[in-house]
Amino acid sequence: MKPSSKAALLILMCFFLGCSEEPVITTKSAASLPLYHRGVDLWEKFYFSEAKAALDSALILDSTFAMGWARLALVKLGAQDEKGAREAIGNALACSHHATQREQLYVRMWNSMIGFQAKEAALVADSIINKRPEEKEAHVFRGKFYENNQKLDAAIRSYQRAVELDTSYAHAVMLLGYAYSTAGEQEKAIAQMERYIRLAPDAADPRASFADLLLRVGRYDDALKQYRASLDLKPDYWYSIIQIGVVYAVLGRLDDAGKQFERGYSHLPRNSQLDAVRMAHEAGLNLQRGQFQESVNQYKGALRVDSTNGSAAYGLVHALAKLKKFKDAGYVIQRIHEELERRGLLESQQMLGFHLLRARFFIERNMPDSAEVECQRAIEFSSPLSRPAVYRHFAEIHLKRKTFESAFDACEVALSVNPNSTPALLTLARVYNAKGDRRMTAEIGWRLLELWKNADPDFQDALEGRKMLGGQRPS
């Protein structure tokens, strides 16, 4: 007599995974397992196109492979395809009745995460950890949920626990490094990223992640070297290509930045939401060029493609405010708040950017008191890494009021993490210029122009810097 399909499936799982109390992965196809594991490995390296190809192949062999669909959802989410992620996790849910309890819990957790149900996702992560405290990946996702709710100490403990469970778990080491950096512990952060490089010396992301830490503290040349080193390992690594564009944009090399963005995004699976991201990046470069109406048109185009694109909505507010279209900008701010509420993010770290957006809006309207209220709210959602951005806005507010000493104090905090922060340095130059201190205006101004020595001729910040200097050099 032939065994039943259920019995055959059990035999298959025991053969490939070893008979234990609960098998790790459930699939009808032996050949799908190595493809699945390859997809997971590639996802952890952020090689999304290759990960998608591997998981697609696994699902061709077993279309009821719940964890295969769930992992594909995570890949699509990472590649800016939220719609595709929802479809994939829906398939995972539909197939999960064939899977083990452990797998069902992971599918539920990721479904809640993709559906913006952060509290539910965290509860499921806790359930996995309570049932199976050795589950290193559950600790990683719990850490991510803690981090999104500004519970950095708890996040760090979760990542540390994952590393304790598997000292070779490179993904957890990376997240621990970023968390230390966000918490203001840069030496610990660098130590973890160096460890990340040792654990995965042939992968592109460890050097890119190390470059991110260098970028955060204003070591732009060193960051570029590390991003380029990661491209020596994988020339089409989309993240490093895009991050080089980010550095170029900071340094005023807007045309070069645009080319990097276009090239980087071309190495990700194409989808409409990614198209909107690309459009928003292009609009942002035009905003830096002072082409405000053109950037408005591009941001609106991005929002027509994807109405939930946060970068486009935030950028649109800035561009409209520059054009003094404050009523229109206020309407967009209201829509952003509604979207944050829909996604259950009103208590998350996302609110830092929202309150800073409103602060900038009120600064442009010359309403410093209202801007100050927004900065005070932003502080509640800030970390040691992000707090300097809040104080740069405080400095702008004090500049409006001509309370120069308070502005200088705020600038000191604004430059505490990244002494080469170009927005903070430009604000400091503005304060010295408004106070009439020509020597210090020149000193800060020329320091900025050295950073912007290869900037495009239409880069507005550099034009403002040169105008303040009027040809004066530091003594």
Task: Give the tens place of pLDDT for each residue, 328-380.
Answer: 999 999 999 999 999 999 989 999 999 999 999 999 999 999 999 999 999 99
Could you tell me if 320 and 326 are in contact, meaning their C-beta atoms sit under 8 angstroms apart?
A: yes
Cα 265 to the chain's mean position, in Å? 15
List of domains in the chain: 27-115 (1.25.40.10), 370-475 (1.25.40.10)
pLDDT of 470: 83
Could you tell me if 284 and 312 are in contact, meaning their C-beta atoms sit under 8 angstroms apart?
A: no
Cα 50 to the chain's mean position, in Å? 21
Q: How far apart are CA 50 and CA 243, in angstroms?
A: 20
Say which DSSP state 22 is in: S
Could you tell me if 449 and 462 are in contact, meaning their C-beta atoms sit under 8 angstroms apart?
A: yes
Q: Where are the alpha helices (DSSP H) in 387-437?
A: 387-401, 404-414, 422-435
Q: Write out residues in the chain with pLDDT < 70, as ranges.
A: 1-23, 471-475
* Residues 71-74: contacts with CB under 8 Å, at least 24 apart: 71/36, 71/39, 71/40, 71/43, 72/39, 73/110, 73/114, 74/43, 74/110
Q: How far is CA 467 from CA 92, 410, 443, in A?
A: 59, 24, 14
Q: How far apart are CA 441 and CA 455, in angstroms?
A: 20
User: Does the global pTM surpass 0.75?
Assistant: yes
pLDDT of 472: 62
pLDDT of 180: 97
Q: What are phi and psi of 115, to 5 degrees?
A: -90, 15
